[in-house]
Amino acid sequence: MDGVAVTLSFWILAAVTLVAAAGVVLARNLLHAVLLLILSFVGIAGFFLLLSAEFLAMAQVIIYVGAVAVLVLFAILLTPHAGRDNGETRMAAPALLLSLCLLAVLCFVIQDTAWPLATGGGPGLSAADLGEALLTTWVLPFEVASVLLTAALVGAIMLARTPQDEAEDALA
Amino acid sequence: MAFFLATNNWYDFRDLSNISRVILEGAGNILPHGIVYVLAPLIGFVASFLIFVLPSQLYVGVLGERKIIGRIQSRYGPNRVGMFGVLQPIADAIKLLSKEALTPKGADKAVMWIAPVVFVMPAVMLFAVIPFGPRMIIADIPNSLLYFLALSSIPVLATFMSGWSHNNKYSLFGAIRIVAMTVSFEVPLVLALLGVVLFTQTASLQGIVGFQRTTHIWLIVLQPLAFALYFICVSAELNRTPTDIAEAESEIVAGYLTEYSGMKWGLFYGMDIGYALAAAAFASTVFLGGWSFFGLDHWVPPWLIIVAKTHAFYFLFIWTRGSLPRLRSDQLMVFCWKYLLPVALINLAIVATERMVWIQNDLSTNVVYVFAVVNLALAAAIVVAWARFVGYKPEDTPSQPRFVRDARGYVPVGDAAALVQPSGAPKGKGS
């Protein structure tokens, strides 16, 4: 990483991402939390851009900002009593425990990994390379993920259908 | 671009990048190092706004749209301010600027204030990757098609923010509708564009224009189904009238815009047109050949060609808005998931097969003309066949208007009315 502009953008992005992430936890209003979460997603996309991984940055914006965040918003809209008040729940203690476990795992990974330094500025990852790797070397995880998504889709339909719907469809 | 006759002289207006380069070189000599990098995108954005976006927005988007809609509905449209109403958009802007921007008491003020800003930013940034000529492009990045898709998925957040922050149930209805609709229509839109990327083997808009220029065929002929899908999906995402269920004024006041007034509303209104123009420019780049026009781009400035194509495509938006009735929310959803999505998948499978045949047999580029004929035929066949399969029964040649047929017969007029028995009166909706 060289150049004043790159360093400056790194620190600005880091500050924005971390402040937004802290805001997600601290915001009392559920919708403000989601909006701050989106801001931190955009910050991560900025990091990808700084690392000259343009394709990943755009995929990050399309998937996380365009799809995941919108789904979270939709879930909030469809949840009763979630509108403007993010009150205390009884799940606070288990959630804290879970996050502490996750923090421990992440700290261990960061400690344990040998971080190699890239030699010279490469041309960056192109979309074609990524696609080829996904469909040759990593084809099994890719297919497993698609099976998982299909199962989730079917499960969502099963959960969303009421007995009345099924009766109506049986008649039609 | 060996055939391009434009020279590198600054006065050659066929390529406006010359003059900007001269300005930047001059500025680089005077100003300290690094300022030029800030100046270059600023010049690009200001120029593309002054040459293209602002005039198009005011005179095609605001005035032209109202005039044409007026003519479609057998009225004059705005004709009071200036000759033929040419000063109407300026009068509107002055009116909007001088209006008070109200904020409801129970509203979420911060979110309501930020929403128009979030809405405007991507609309401006979208034009960075539209190629206006061989060198007239602000950012020629390898994945510019994805960049366009990524940025155009942001405005839905802004509309959601505005709809939620008002603390008004009509606004919230609008927000729910737009979120549901965008999530659904994004899928066939991306699948349709994936077909284009697969065919041209590039995700860069300049590369797609280059493909159409070297093969002398527009992608609307090679990918007719993708073009139709893109047009339908993008007009749903843009909230244009046949699908504007998010701000349906006859159902939910003004949807997510209900509580906005003054220039905050003006920003949403203006940038709606900005997004439509960006989508039109994108569609004319991807499907209609961009700045190339079968050799005409040697003589006419390429940026004029793409502006003309954009306006022609925008006319399609106006036309559908003026002539089609608004769909219901559930009709739109069913149409998207049961019709558009399978058709997009079939289209993708066809393109993948053609591409494989092309590569494995090592055919010359002339094979695209065969593919064009095949795809045109297949597109028509798929549209009809899938409609039959799903159960839509398109009426090919209705012999009578539908309401007359539903009324069991015809509505007698004039002398014929005397011949009809009173018992033959309409019985209401038929079978």
Is A96 part of a structural domain of the chain?
Answer: no
3-state secondary structure of B69: helix
Does the pLDDT of residue A103 top 90, yes or no? yes
Residue A109: pLDDT band (50, 70, 90) is very high
* pLDDT score of B3: 47
* pLDDT score of A20: 92
Tell which B residues from 30 to 69 touch A, by Cβ distance under 8 Å.
34, 37
CB contact (8 A) between residue A65 and residue B153:
yes
CB contact (8 A) between residue A62 and residue B149:
yes
Does the pLDDT of residue B326 top 70, yes or no? yes
CB contact (8 A) between residue A66 and residue B156:
yes
> Residues B333-342: what's their mean pLDDT?
86
Using the Cβ of A74 and the Cβ atoms of chain B, whether some distance falls under 8 Å is answered with yes
The CA distance from B74 to B26, in Å, is 54
Report the percentage of chain B scoring pLDDT > 90: 4
* pLDDT score of A102: 94
The CA distance from B402 to B181, in Å, is 29
CB contact (8 A) between residue A58 and residue B142:
no
Using the Cβ of A68 and the Cβ atoms of chain B, whether some distance falls under 8 Å is answered with no
Query: Which of A6, A70, A150 to probe by mutation at the B interface, max B CB count within 10 Å?
Result: A70
> Residues B112-136: what's their mean pLDDT?
85
Does the pLDDT of residue B429 top 60, yes or no? no
Average confidence score pLDDT of chain A: 81
Based on the domain organization, do A4 and A81 belong to the same domain? Answer: yes
Does the pLDDT of residue A48 top 90, yes or no? no
Based on the domain organization, do A2 and A75 belong to the same domain? Answer: yes
> Residues B72-94: what's their mean pLDDT?
81
Does the pLDDT of residue B24 top 90, yes or no? no
Q: Which two tokens stand for residue A122?
A: 């490469």
Contact B231, B139 (CB under 8 A): no
Number of CB atoms found within 10 A of residue A156's CB: 10
Q: Which domain-ending residue is among A34, A56, A87? A: A87
Tell which A residues from 75 to 114 touch B, by Cβ distance under 8 Å.
77, 84
Residue A19: pLDDT band (50, 70, 90) is very high
Does the pLDDT of residue B89 top 90, yes or no? no
Using the Cβ of B385 and the Cβ atoms of chain A, whether some distance falls under 8 Å is answered with no
- Of A40-44, B138-142, B327-331, B396-400, the least confident: B396-400
Judging contacts by C-beta atoms under 8 Å, the chain B residues touching residue A5 are: 34, 37
Is A119 part of a structural domain of the chain?
Answer: no
Higher-confidence residue of B406 and A19: namely A19
Is A101 part of a structural domain of the chain?
Answer: no
Is A136 part of a structural domain of the chain?
Answer: yes
Q: Which residues of B35-67 are buried (b: 16+ CB within 10 A; e: fewer)?
A: ebeebbeebbbebbbebbbeebbbbbbbbbbbb
The CA distance from B261 to B274, in Å, is 19
* pLDDT score of B125: 83
Does the pLDDT of residue B336 top 50, yes or no? yes
Closest-CA distance of chain B to residue A55, Å:
7
What CATH number has the domain bearing residue A9?
1.20.120.1200
Higher-confidence residue of B279 and B12: namely B279
CB contact (8 A) between residue A74 and residue B147:
no
Query: Which of B37, B146, B359 to probe by mutation at the A interface, max A CB count within 10 Å?
Result: B146
Does the pLDDT of residue B7 top 70, yes or no? no
Enter the DSSP assignment of B59: I
CB contact (8 A) between residue B146 and residue A59:
yes
Per-residue model confidence as pLDDT tens digits over B383-411: 888 888 877 665 555 565 666 666 666 56
Using the Cβ of B26 and the Cβ atoms of chain A, whether some distance falls under 8 Å is answered with no
Based on the domain organization, do A137 and A57 belong to the same domain? Answer: no
Based on the domain organization, do A17 and A73 belong to the same domain? Answer: yes
> Residue A134 is part of which domain span?
127-172
Q: Which domain-ending residue is among A39, A65, A87? A: A87
Using the Cβ of B146 and the Cβ atoms of chain A, whether some distance falls under 8 Å is answered with yes
- Of A54-58, B16-20, B63-67, B311-315, the least confident: B16-20
CB contact (8 A) between residue A58 and residue B146:
yes
> Residues A138-165: what's their mean pLDDT?
85
CB contact (8 A) between residue A74 and residue B180:
yes
* pLDDT score of B1: 43
Higher-confidence residue of B212 and A166: namely B212
CB contact (8 A) between residue B143 and residue A54:
yes
Is A108 part of a structural domain of the chain?
Answer: no
The total number of structural domains in chain A stands at: 2
> Residues A81-97: what's their mean pLDDT?
70
Closest-CA distance of chain A to residue B179, Å:
7
Does the pLDDT of residue B265 top 80, yes or no? yes
Question: Could you tell me if residue A8 is left (phi over 0), alpha (psi between -120 and 50 degrees) or otherwise beta?
Answer: alpha
Using the Cβ of B79 and the Cβ atoms of chain A, whether some distance falls under 8 Å is answered with no
Is A94 part of a structural domain of the chain?
Answer: no
Contact A55, A125 (CB under 8 A): yes
Chain A residue with the nearest C-alpha to that of B114: A35
Highest mean pLDDT among B32-36, B58-62, B107-111: B107-111
* pLDDT score of B108: 80
Based on the domain organization, do A79 and A137 belong to the same domain? Answer: no
Q: Which of A29, A35, A127 sits opposite B161 (nearest CB)?
A: A35
Q: Which of A31, A61, A71 sits opposite B164 (nearest CB)?
A: A31
Q: Which domain-ending residue is among A23, A56, A87? A: A87
CB contact (8 A) between residue B183 and residue A35:
no
Query: Which of A68, A73, A76 to probe by mutation at the B interface, max B CB count within 10 Å?
Result: A73
* pLDDT score of A147: 94
Using the Cβ of A54 and the Cβ atoms of chain B, whether some distance falls under 8 Å is answered with yes
CB contact (8 A) between residue A74 and residue B172:
no
* pLDDT score of B45: 74
The distance in angstroms from the start CA to the end CA of chain A is: 64
Does the pLDDT of residue B279 top 50, yes or no? yes
Residue A40: pLDDT band (50, 70, 90) is very high
The CA distance from B349 to B375, in Å, is 12
Higher-confidence residue of B307 and B419: namely B307
* pLDDT score of A87: 61
Q: Which of B150, B160, B203 sits opposite A61 (nearest CB)?
A: B150
Tell which A residues from 127 to 166 touch B, by Cβ distance under 8 Å.
127
How many residues does the structure list for chain A?
172
Closest-CA distance of chain A to residue B153, Å:
5
- Of A64-73, B23-32, B84-93, B215-224, the least confident: B23-32
How many residues does the structure list for chain B?
431
Number of CB atoms found within 10 A of residue B366's CB: 8
Based on the domain organization, do A73 and A6 belong to the same domain? Answer: yes
ipTM for the complex shown? 0.77
Average confidence score pLDDT of chain B: 80
Based on the domain organization, do A82 and A131 belong to the same domain? Answer: no
Is A99 part of a structural domain of the chain?
Answer: no
Q: How far is CA B171 from CA A67, A74, B16, B257, in A?
A: 21, 15, 44, 7
Closest-CA distance of chain A to residue B126, Å:
13
Residue A121: pLDDT band (50, 70, 90) is low
Closest-CA distance of chain A to residue B240, Å:
20
Is A118 part of a structural domain of the chain?
Answer: no
> Residues B148-165: what's their mean pLDDT?
86
